């Protein structure tokens, strides 16, 4: 698994890449329970070796060598052939099924905000976009500290913390940046309303009361101007 940051400086992304190790060999080994764990194994497709396990590679087996040469020179290496349908057509059914199981496992384990996707090429690569989760984890402590500082230093009630003014959270909550919207400037901005929380457009008295309780002040007593 690798973690990488993608995107522009305005909207960096946190993406985990899961690349299954010697995937075809792992799938075939799971279908050959008589093999000892870690036994050298290669996968054959017609007259080609298309996958080699680490233990077989350590012995000198290489991809695309002739299967006859492999059997002659490396008799201790097990060889599994890909599924062949009637008419000689190769099927990757077993690998697709295993890939689907990995995908479902990653999706079940990922946070609800994460996006899980398969790689464009092959069946053994998966990506989990953790941008929202990472942004939330990184932004929450900063936003909380900023809200407390605004209240202590300026007497302003912070109604919500979001990545832009159009999408502030409710009192005492945080909105993580979405995967499709760029950050505002600065990346994590606080929406503090001078003149009292009750005057914030679209928020109403309930939000003012909740914010006032949070700050330990009487409702309607947060009318200080920064």
pLDDT tens digits for range 91-126: 999 999 999 999 999 989 888 888 899 888 789 999
- Find residue 42's DSSP bridge partners: 52, 79
Q: Decide if pLDDT at 198 tops 70.
A: no
Q: What is the mean pLDDT of the chain?
A: 74
Least confident of 12-21, 32-41, 104-113, 214-223: 214-223
Instruction: Confirm whether pTM is higher than 0.85.
Output: no
* Beta carbons within 8 Å of 129's beta carbon, 6+ residues apart: 13, 14, 15, 114, 115, 116, 117, 179
Tokens at 54, concatenated: 């680490």
Contact 50, 39 (CB under 8 A): no
Name which residue leads in pLDDT, 167 or 33.
33
Element (H, E) at 204: helix 204-214
Band (205; pLDDT cuts 50, 70, 90): low
Q: Decide if pLDDT at 51 tops 60.
A: yes
Element (H, E) at 57: helix 54-59
Q: Decide if pLDDT at 23 tops 70.
A: yes
What is the spatial distance between Cα 111 and Cα 194, in angstroms, rounded to a whole number?
36
CA dihedral 188, 190, 191, 197 (to 10 degrees): 150
> Closest Cα partner for 164 from 155, 174, 154?
174
Residue 190, pLDDT score: 37
Residue 66, pLDDT score: 97
Write out the DSSP string of 78-108: EEEEPEE-TTS-EE-HHHHHHHHHHHHHHHH
Q: Decide if pLDDT at 68 tops 90.
A: yes
Residue 22, pLDDT score: 92
Band (155; pLDDT cuts 50, 70, 90): low
Domain architecture of the chain: domains with CATH:
2-129 (3.40.1170.60), 139-214 (no CATH)
């Amino acid at each position: 698994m690798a973690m990488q940051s993608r995107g522009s400086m305005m909207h960096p992304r946190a993406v985990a890449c899961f690349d299954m190790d010697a995937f075809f060999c792992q799938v075939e080994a799971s279908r050959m329970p008589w093999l000892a764990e870690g036994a050298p194994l290669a996968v054959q497709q017609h007259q080609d070796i298309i996958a080699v396990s680490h233990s077989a590679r350590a012995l000198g087996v290489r991809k695309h060598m002739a299967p006859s040469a492999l059997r002659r020179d490396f008799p201790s290496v097990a060889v599994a052939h890909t599924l062949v349908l009637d008419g000689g057509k190769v099927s990757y059914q077993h690998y697709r099924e295993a890939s689907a199981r990995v995908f479902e496992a990653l999706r079940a384990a990922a946070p609800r905000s994460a996006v899980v996707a398969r790689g464009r090429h092959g069946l053994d690569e998966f990506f989990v976009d953790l941008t929202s989760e990472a942004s939330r984890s990184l932004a929450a402590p900063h936003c909380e500290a900023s809200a407390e500082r605004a209240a202590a230093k300026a007497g302003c009630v912070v109604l919500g913390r979001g990545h832009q003014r159009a999408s502030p959270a409710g009192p005492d909550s945080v909105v993580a940046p979405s995967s499709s919207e760029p950050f505002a400037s600065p990346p994590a901005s606080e929406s503090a309303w001078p003149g009292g929380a009750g005057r914030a457009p679209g928020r109403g008295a309930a939000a003012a009361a909740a914010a006032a309780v949070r700050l330990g002040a009487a409702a309607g007593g947060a009318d200080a101007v920064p």
